[in-house]
Amino acid sequence: MKQLRDKQLKQFLKQAKYPPVALVFILQDVEDPVNVGACFRIADACSVNEIVLAGISATPPHPTIAGVARGAHRRVKWHTTTHAADAIEAYKAQGYANYALEVTSSATPYYTAEYPEKVCLVVGNEYRGVSRRTLEACDAAIYLPMYGKVRSLNVHVALAVATYHILHHPRNGQI
C-alpha cells in the first residue's frame, strides 16, 4: 500500500462522484475562530454552496481562521448576517430544509432523519447552542448521540459527521 501524493492524489480524488445535494452551513454565534476555520475547511471538502456567519460568529480575515481553513475561506462563498433566523427564512424560500444540529425535546438522531436535496445545517454557539429564535425558524432538529460522559462534540466535528452522512444518505435509490 502506497500513500498518494500530489498529482496522483488529485487524480484519485477526481474519481469521486459528488452526491446530488445542495448544502449550506449557518453558523450562529460560533465565536471560536478555530471552529469557524474548520467549518470552512469542511465546507470546501464537501463542496458546500455557502456559509452564513450569523451574530457574533468569528469572520475572515482572521489569522486563526485562515490557518485552520488552509485557504478554504477564500474558496467557499460566505456572508454575514445579524440574525440566523433571517438567513433560514431566506433559504426556506429557495426550497431548503433547515436542520438545527442541537439536542431538543423533539430532536431525532442524525442518522434517522430524511434529507431532501437542499439542506441547511445550522450550528450554534459553543456553550449556549442554537438560540430559541433560530430553533423556531428551523424545520427540525437533529443530534449526534453521545455514549460517554461528555455531552457534545466540538461544533466543527459534529458538523462534519452530519454533513458526510447527509451527502451519502440514499435518495431515490441513489447515493
- pLDDT-derived band at 139 (thresholds 50, 70, 90) equals very high
Q: What is the DSSP letter of 102?
A: S
Render pLDDT for 96-124 as a digit per residue (tens, 0 to 9): 999 999 999 999 999 999 999 999 999 99
- The third-level CATH classification (topology) of the domain covering 19-167 is Alpha/beta knot (3.40.1280)
Render pLDDT for 12-70 as a digit per residue (tens, 0 to 9): 888 877 778 999 999 999 999 999 999 999 999 999 999 999 999 999 999 999 999 99
State whether residue 69 is helix, strand or coil. Answer: helix
Residue ranges covered by each domain of the chain: 19-167
Query: Are residues 164 and 70 in contact, defined by beta-carbon separation less than 8 angstroms?
Result: no
CA distances from 175 to 14, 118, 164 (A): 17, 15, 12
Distance CA 62, CA 26 (A): 19
**pTM for this prediction:** 0.92
Distance CA 21, CA 115 (A): 9
